[in-house]
């Protein structure tokens, strides 16, 4: 089995966009959907019930969350690549096991 490689990619420079201007005449019906506290342009992760259960089970295993990993690539036979962007990576403190 081949040893896994860790690639560090340079951070992309942030794009500077013109600030958005809100209309004063906007109706309150836009904010009634439960998104009143979420600023425009923010990424919000909505987790399903099964994903919440899985995260709780992982937290009970005592794994440490690893920061700074932006992409995971799995190479399979027949040139099949699985790419995961912005993964949540955990490491076992007792062994060299990564999830």
pLDDT tens column, 41-76: 666 677 788 888 988 888 888 888 889 989 989 898
Q: Are strands 80-85 and 71-76 parallel, antiparallel or unpaired?
A: antiparallel
Residue 19 has pLDDT above 70, yes or no: no
Contacts of 65 (CB under 8 A, 6+ apart): 88, 89, 90
pTM recorded for the entire structure: 0.46
Q: Where are the domains of the chain?
A: 64-99
What pLDDT, on a 0 to 100 scale, did the predictor assign at position 71? 92
Q: Token digits for 3?
A: 């040893």
């Amino acid at each position: 089995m081949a040893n896994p490689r860790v690639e560090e990619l340079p951070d992309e420079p942030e794009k500077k966009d013109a600030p958005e201007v809100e209309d004063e005449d906007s109706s309150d019906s836009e904010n009634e959907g439960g998104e009143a506290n979420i600023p425009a342009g923010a990424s919000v992760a909505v987790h399903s019930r099964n994903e919440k259960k899985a995260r709780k089970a992982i937290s009970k295993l005592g794994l440490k969350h690893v920061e700074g990993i932006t992409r995971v690539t799995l190479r399979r036979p027949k040139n099949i690549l699985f790419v995961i962007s912005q993964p949540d990576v955990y490491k076992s403190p007792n062994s060299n096991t990564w999830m």
